[in-house]
A and B are shown apart, each in its own frame.
Chain A
Amino acid sequence: MATVSLESLKKSYGKTEVIHGVDIDIEDGEFIVIVGPSGCGKSTLLRMVAGLEGVSEGEIRIDGERVNEKEPMDRDIAMVFQNYALYPHMSVEQNMAYGLKIAKMPKAEINARVAEAAELLQLEPYLKRRPRQLSGGQRQRVAMGRAIVRRPSVFLFDEPLSNLDAKLRVQMRLEIKKLQRELGVTALYVTHDQVEAMTLADRMIVMNDGAVDQIGAPLEVYANPQTEFVAGFIGSPPTNFIASETIGGQAGTKTGIRPEHVVIAPVGQGNATGLVLYAEPLGAETLIHLTIAGGEAFTVRQDGAVAIPAEGDQVGLSWSDDVEMRFDASGRRF
């Protein structure tokens, strides 16, 4: 249980700055997701908090105490790695007990904690097995167990679900959320998957190219993206961007409209005209891909019950003014 504060945190490798200053105050028990495309610096940021990477500038505080110079083991954190990083020559039980043994905890206490974690994670039948005898999902659980038994103040997750198949990922996502709520531990979670970010986060940090574009609650970020990048990255299918002058706006700026805010209208009506390329009926909803004047791609998401226009048809695209998001030439919202 702890607060975590990052203050103008920067990281450089030689002369190349890869993280350009991150500021955030994380509250006790909060679930923070750092999301962004690969190479945006999100993992580096997490590794700096863990103490696996040095801090070039700025400060990290855990529970108000500066930890920049502290070794990972002295920061009271636990980390779950993308490839699980289990010790291959130890059984599940030994994997979980390793950190406690090093801390010279009494044997009875170690056994009690491991048993408790194993029960929580349904790992009891596998305690004597080696990691290679487990499935991906089970290994993931062992990695979680190893983090839990130490009762750290902060959990760090580095893309923990990306090596699992789609179904298991959804299931583990729920379990991680449930576990974090039960234990009430502050968590920092790195992912490139915006669905994971939306579903897990109390607040999310959207990173782009080493800088923080926006910090906020998922729905808040979704509804009010502060930059063109955030609008495009959060939401699936992504936001449509069109040059503003084609719909009578200011030259040099862009307008973003989310696919679900657009309604197909008879040709000649609405804000723009599009040519239907193809449709993807998904049952509950249908995605319609079009090109609009100027050849730009455009996607409409409509209810599955609504009639689907034929491929090659010209249709009108209609939306209300208040859903338009306007971005200036530098990508900032205005």
Chain B
Amino acid sequence: MEKRVTFKGMWLPLLLVLPQMLITAVFFFYPAGQAVWQSLFIPDPFGLSMQWVGLGNFEFLLSDPYYRASFATTAVFSILVTVVSMGVALYLAVLADRLIKGSGTYRTLLIWPYAVAPAVAGVLWLFMFNTRVGVVTWYLGQLGYDWNHVLNEGEAMGLVVVASSWGRVSYNFLFFLAGLQAIPKSVIEAAAIDGARFWMRFRTIVFPLLSPTTFFLLVVNIVYAFFETFGVIHTITSGGPQQATTILVYKVYADGFVGQDLGSSAAQSVILLLIVSVLTVIQFKFIERRVHY
């Protein structure tokens, strides 16, 4: 049974949660409320007056081919980031789990990229793949491949996916490694005696037992790809070329702050808010209950 701490009065607990409540109110509820409110208006270009349009902003958005294209871009981008970062992390974690010597060094080095801020990671990758001075671009040129993510949409998407996944591998690696180490060794040994070789054991025993970790990471990584990759995209492609890497959260910025269409930008924020709410609900209600043994 969980032990509950009980307070005698109401004032002390209120006082203790107050700082967090204030932060949440100022930095979340107030701006979110503002966004919902603004999404119902169209301001004039100088911001001096607002005209009530009801759900007009939403209607316009949902029929806007650019916005729909951004949805598709976001879907491709998030799926790729999630699959790449989780796949690589799982592979590295399985290797690290089997290590006996030098596992500490290996682990520390793998965790390092997590300390790099997304924007900095973006710049790092940008330098390597810079069309004129990038090291990797130069090597690719030697091999006869002409890399140019500024013009090529596929290459631009590839680069932002790799740059976004890179730091994420560290995070996922940590969770996968912890998950792997939580599987009792004797269960693996029992499977070995039962005749299962490495790949079979991984498929039928290890992977199913990792599913709580995997589902958790799935949700967290999708949320990451949706919302926290702004820095990477902004530094590397600025959403281009031809909006090929304009994911939803980048479009909020581009339409609102660059295009000065604050009403539409606010409406887009509200849609994103709904998406993240749904993801959170899925995480809490559905996944947490289903995958624990």
Interface residues on chain B, number (Cβ under 8 Å): 18
Stretch in B87-95, B151-159, B181-189 touching the partner: B181-189
Contacts of B184 in A (CB 8 A): 83, 85
8 Å CB interface, B199-221 against A: 200, 204-205, 208-209
- Residue of B with least CB distance to A152: B193
Taking chain B's interface residues, is the majority helix, strand, or loop, or is none over half, making it mixed?
A: helix
Known: A85-B186, A85-B187, A87-B205. A71 touches B192 (CB 8 A): yes
Pair A146/B194 contact, Cβ less than 8 Å: yes
8 Å CB interface, A86-142 against B: 86-89, 98-99, 102-103, 130, 132
Bitwise, A24-60 to B at CB < 8 A (1) or not (0) is 0000000000000000000000000011100000000
Q: Among B187, B192, B195, B204, which residue has the most Cβ atoms of chain A within 10 A?
A: B195
Contacts of A99 in B (CB 8 A): 193-195
Q: How many A-B residue pairs have CB under 8 A?
A: 62
Q: Please measure, in the bound complex, the distance between the C-alpha atom of A103 and the C-alpha atom of B189, giving whole angstroms.
A: 17
Pair B193/A73 contact, Cβ less than 8 Å: yes
Contacts of A51 in B (CB 8 A): 193
Q: Is B289 an interface residue when CB atoms closer than 8 A count as contact?
A: no
Taking chain A's interface residues, is the majority helix, strand, or loop, or is none over half, making it mixed?
A: loop
- Other-chain residue from A83, A85, A102 in contact with B200 (beta carbon distance below 8 A): A102
- Other-chain residue from A77, A83, A98, A130 in contact with B191 (beta carbon distance below 8 A): A98
Q: What is the CB-to-nearest-CB distance from B106 to chain A, in angstroms, rounded to a whole number? A: 21
Known: A102-B200, A132-B293. A85 touches B194 (CB 8 A): no
Q: What is the CB-to-nearest-CB distance from B288 to chain A, in angstroms, rounded to a whole number? A: 16
Known: A87-B205, A89-B293, A102-B200. A81 touches B189 (CB 8 A): yes
Q: Is A150 an interface residue when CB atoms closer than 8 A count as contact?
A: yes
Contact-residue size bin, chain A (C-beta under 8 Å from the other chain): 20 to 34
Contacts of A89 in B (CB 8 A): 208-209, 293
Q: What is the CB-to-nearest-CB distance from B21 to chain A, in angstroms, rounded to a whole number? A: 39
Q: Is A281 an interface residue when CB atoms closer than 8 A count as contact?
A: no
Q: What is the CB-to-nearest-CB distance from B16 to chain A, in angstroms, rounded to a whole number? A: 37
Identify 20 new A-B residue pairs, CB closer than 8 A, beyond the known A86-B187, A98-B204, A130-B293.
A51-B193, A52-B193, A71-B192, A71-B197, A73-B192, A73-B193, A73-B195, A77-B193, A81-B186, A82-B186, A83-B186, A87-B187, A87-B205, A88-B209, A98-B191, A98-B194, A99-B193, A102-B195, A132-B293, A146-B194
Q: Can you offer 23 A-B residue contacts whose CB atoms are under 8 A?
A: A50-B189, A50-B193, A51-B193, A52-B189, A71-B192, A73-B197, A78-B193, A81-B190, A85-B184, A85-B186, A85-B189, A88-B209, A88-B293, A89-B208, A98-B191, A98-B194, A98-B196, A99-B193, A99-B194, A102-B196, A132-B293, A146-B194, A150-B194
